[in-house]
Chain A
Amino acid sequence: MLRLFALTLGLVLTAAAAFAQTGKVTVVTSFSKDVTDPLKKAFEKAVPGATLEVQNRNTNAGVKFLEETKANNQVDLFWASAPDAFEVLKGKKLLSPYKPKAAGIAEKVGSYPVNDKDGFYSGFAASGYGIMWNERYVKANKLPTPKEWQDLAAAPYFDHVSISAPSRSGTTHLTIETILQGEGWDKGWRTIKEISGNLRQVTDRSFGVPEAVNSGQVGYGIVIDFFAFSSQGAGFPVKFVYPSVTTLVPANVGIVANAPNKAGAEAFIEFLLSPAGQEALLEPTIRRLPVRPETYAKAPADYPNPFKDKNLQGLLTFNAVLSESRSAAVDTLYDQLITFQLEPLKAATKVLHELDAALAKKDNAQARALAKEARDLIAAMPITAAQAASPEIRAAFSGGKEKSARQAELEQQWAAFAKEKYAAAKAKADEALKLAR
């Protein structure tokens, strides 16, 4: 008993001593050691007297931790690549605004603004989404090499693709939202469902996708680029391609409200945006895209450059307000229509692939008409774009008074909708297949 007390006392005193020193900067981050170790070293070299204390947590645990400890906050910075997490923290008033002094940082990278418009968090890097595949798997199964997103919807890719759920991966969510903004609500969802019909699995964490591709459990993965490159760097037999229209997603850092060492936190952000910090991003273990355009002069020749490469420029201006307004709805729609209805969706898609093959051999107008009907059934959505952004739907997720239904009720409605539609689509496709043969 006495020993425990002494131990406790000792711990407390050490903590107090550390407190007194102004150099400790505490950061909660979801970045891996591959990223944090080199940046920590570089930061501590650039700012003598400062030490970076890294608390590694997955994004959700990090957000929850900040929420629960806000009464006596000990954390200076939140540092992650999940834009939705920053929005949540901002909404719960857990961030302090800060305008970085660094000059020479771009306003926009790809389609996205680099910084939060209200100044609560700053972007320091970007990454691109693309397609990664396992060479051995592809060779063994005699599969094709993809180039564009739409390729993944083709028949040979059936049951070989993996993606992480947008509800679980903020960056994947942005990719989906970009498709919706680019192609429009209905066409966008049609594309998404066509690709999703070929999925083998929907993972619940971002890293699950590259991990599955690395082991060869799955052939193709829709991943963020640095996962693919670090896998290659680790020796895995994988390849990566940026489609010609790709999504660039940002990585951010923000100062936590009531930070114990605000000065230190600001110093860290300035470091990240400084030429030295931005150059550090080019290291093979980190491999992020700097937001300081001049940094690319120091990069190797084939390094992707969002300020020069056509396919990284972004075809549209991303509407962050729209994205935010329907964020919960889009996540839930994906889950209820695809993630948890994957088997029925795949069943219908499979028959459609077989049907296409049969029609290629011998055309049949009636069968083709039925195929189109089946596809339309799959592409049908339970709510329109306007409804998705409406106050009623939003209130269902936030608990506001205007809600039309509870979240659980909406989910059940949408799930039932999808189940019915996919079953009907499969029935039509089966019928068409009989005709075509």
Chain B
Amino acid sequence: MALAGTRSGGQAVLALTIALFLGVFLVVPVATVVYVAFTEKGGGGLTLVNFLDFARTDLFVRSFWNSVYVSAMTVVWASALALPLAYLTTRFEFRGAMLVQTLGFLPLVMPPFVGAVAMQLLFGRNGSVNLLLDEWFDFKIGFMEGLNGVIFLQAIHYFPFILVNLSAALRNIDRSMEEAAQNLGSHGLRLFRRIALPLALPGFIAGASLVFVKVFDDVATPLLLNVKEMLAPQAYLRITSIGIDDPMGYVISVVLIGVAVATMWASAQVLKGKDYATTQRGGGGLARRKLKPRESALAYAVVILILALVLAPHVGLLLLSFATVWSFSPLPDGYTLAHYARVLGDSSVYIKNTLLYSSLAAGIDVVIGGAIAYLVLRTKLPGRQWLDWAASTALAVPGIVLGIGYLRAFYGVKMPDGTPLAALWIVIVLAIAIRRLPYALRAAYAALQQISVSLEEAAENLGATKARTVRRIVIPLMTGGLLAGFVTSFATAAVELSAVLILVQSNSDAPLAYGLYVLMQTPAGRGAGAALGVIAVVIVAICMGLAQLAADRSQRARGLDI
């Protein structure tokens, strides 16, 4: 019985450590900011009257439903874009598969501000596409108008999530499921629709719910498109208003957090008992067949079209970085290298900081996300589900709330010489890490679910302690999922801005996103900002590629295939 005691003792210590981490770096800072939502301005004790006001204000109710609509439609359109690609790469011997998977990640790496500017220049009311359409055919399409513009941008941005998710779910289907259907007379699209998609659905829902929450809580994209009647922008506008101490901004933040938790809970309920991935044995995915030449041509056409669409922001960004002047015309007036020349000098500091912060943040995320996933799925500690939910709420907390909370919580803590703790760059890393933790957590969770418990039990049976089992069996098998989590955290950490803006206190601590922001405050800085954005994308893409290569190599050395 001593053994059992130490085993659950070790787990309990781990759980408490993580709870402490989340408490200190997420819950407490947010609480210090958000408690205002529960007090009446100028009044005394706790009250829920602000929430009543929320429900009675047309603007907020309208914004709430707008946000729900946009988030749901984003999932629909992102899935519509991802489905053909997932189908082609999992069902056929498709030579472009690797390219699709890599390029499919890029939309996640979109620097703030510039991405939306580039998209406006391409798809806006007077952007390239519409100017040409108007000239040739006398009509325009409102890609970027209002809520549809937000849906358009968000669908493109989050499409990689759905693609990776859907592909993984399809690959996890037991081969015999498909063969049984073929044996009974089904094949092709009909089989895909009746058998493959329903079996892939649970895995898909896990990813889709993450996208829903992320879009629901996104502040930057709607504001850049001048859409203010959505919940997250409303929160931001109210929190950042000068001179009016409005509790409603914080009330909305609480609502955002509530919706995030509710969505995660709902998707967990839907998945309960339907997690087909774990009840199947061999996986093996769908059988792949070769494409006939005509099919091949069609496939490539579809893939190229979709990739062109989702990479449009990067194309626009690239054009903008080389443009002299681009105003009310399909293409820039002229091209120049001056912008790159301008930023190359400053950018080495930004690049160094970005790489440092992002890798540290992603590393923290993977370790903590993996630990939480392990605790939730493999132990019976009471209340472990709360760790998962607490970590997931990080998605819903607006960056500015976290930034202010960190200042509030940590500025008073002083180092020996009087420098405040919050002035150290490590605090920036922690803020970024907390905000990206949910991605790594979901990836680790999905990876661990695929691993049968019997694999670990066999190790323990042969004498390995839990810790050694985790190190020698669980982690190597989870590598694929952990890598995906690392890469996603890294890619999105590299372009984090909202919390950084509050916390950065000197240029030497600033990452690329900050440098970009500063440049984008002036008309002359737009090209340079775009150049910096391109540099950011390139660097992140290279790092992601290297990470993938390194993991592939180590997996192959161990005889595992991701």
Q: Which residues of A contact B (CB under 8 A)?
A: 4, 8, 11-13, 15-16, 19, 32-34, 53-61, 63-65, 68-69, 71-72, 74, 82, 84-85, 87-88, 134, 136-137, 140, 167-168, 170, 201-204, 207-208, 210-211, 214-217, 227, 230-231, 233-238, 285, 327-328, 331-332, 336, 339-340, 395, 397-401, 403, 406-409, 411-412, 415-416, 419
**Which B residues touch A140, using CB under 8 A?**
328
Q: How far is the CA of A85 from the CA of B243 in the complex (A)?
A: 7
The answer to whether A69 and B420 touch (CB under 8 A), given A8-B426, A215-B326, A400-B42, is yes
Nearest CB in chain B: distance from A346 CB, A = 13
> Of A33, A72, A238, A399, which one neighbours B525 at CB under 8 angstroms?
A33
**Which B residues touch A170, using CB under 8 A?**
242
Nearest CB in chain B: distance from A42 CB, A = 19
Q: How far is the CA of A399 from the CA of B403 in the complex (A)?
A: 25
**Which A residues touch B275, using CB under 8 A?**
none
The 4 closest A-B pairs by CB, nearest first: A399-B42, A216-B328, A399-B41, A408-B53
Let me know if A137 and B57 touch, CB within 8 A.
Answer: no
**Which B residues touch A8, using CB under 8 A?**
415, 424, 426
Let me know if A217 and B54 touch, CB within 8 A.
Answer: no
Q: How far is the CA of A369 from the CA of B237 in the complex (A)?
A: 40
Q: Which residues of B contact A (CB under 8 A)?
A: 40-43, 49-50, 53-54, 56-59, 117, 120-121, 124-127, 223, 226, 228-229, 233, 237, 240-246, 248, 324-329, 333, 400, 403-404, 407-408, 411-412, 414-420, 422-426, 501-502, 504-507, 518-519, 521-526
Q: How far is the CA of A71 from the CA of B414 in the complex (A)?
A: 11
Which of B41, B49, B56, B327 has the most chain A CB within a 10 Å cutoff? B327
Which of B244, B414, B422, B424 has the most chain A CB within a 10 Å cutoff? B244
Q: How far is the CA of A235 from the CA of B333 in the complex (A)?
A: 10
Q: How far is the CA of A168 from the CA of B236 in the complex (A)?
A: 12
Q: How far is the CA of A72 from the CA of B422 in the complex (A)?
A: 11
**Which B residues touch A285, using CB under 8 A?**
524
Let me know if B56 and A412 touch, CB within 8 A.
Answer: yes
Nearest CB in chain B: distance from A12 CB, A = 5
Let me know if B223 and A230 touch, CB within 8 A.
Answer: no
Let me know if A201 and B226 touch, CB within 8 A.
Answer: yes
The answer to whether A406 and B58 touch (CB under 8 A), given A216-B126, A395-B42, is no
Let me know if A167 and B418 touch, CB within 8 A.
Answer: no
Nearest CB in chain A: distance from B279 CB, A = 42
Cβ-closest chain B residue relative to A236: B327
Q: How far is the CA of A216 from the CA of B327 in the complex (A)?
A: 5
Cβ-closest chain A residue relative to B420: A72
Let me know if A61 and B240 touch, CB within 8 A.
Answer: yes
**Which B residues touch A4, using CB under 8 A?**
426
A-B contact sample (4 more), CB < 8 A, given A398-B42, A408-B57, A409-B53: A33-B525, A53-B506, A65-B502, A399-B43
**Which B residues touch A201, using CB under 8 A?**
226
Nearest CB in chain A: distance from B227 CB, A = 10
Q: How far is the CA of A140 from the CA of B327 in the complex (A)?
A: 12
Q: How far is the CA of A86 from the CA of B307 in the complex (A)?
A: 49
List 27 interface pairs A-B (beta carbons < 8 Å), by A numbering.
A15-B423, A33-B525, A34-B524, A53-B506, A55-B505, A60-B241, A69-B411, A72-B418, A72-B420, A84-B243, A136-B327, A140-B328, A202-B228, A214-B526, A215-B327, A217-B124, A230-B523, A233-B523, A234-B523, A327-B243, A398-B41, A399-B42, A400-B42, A408-B50, A409-B56, A412-B56, A412-B57
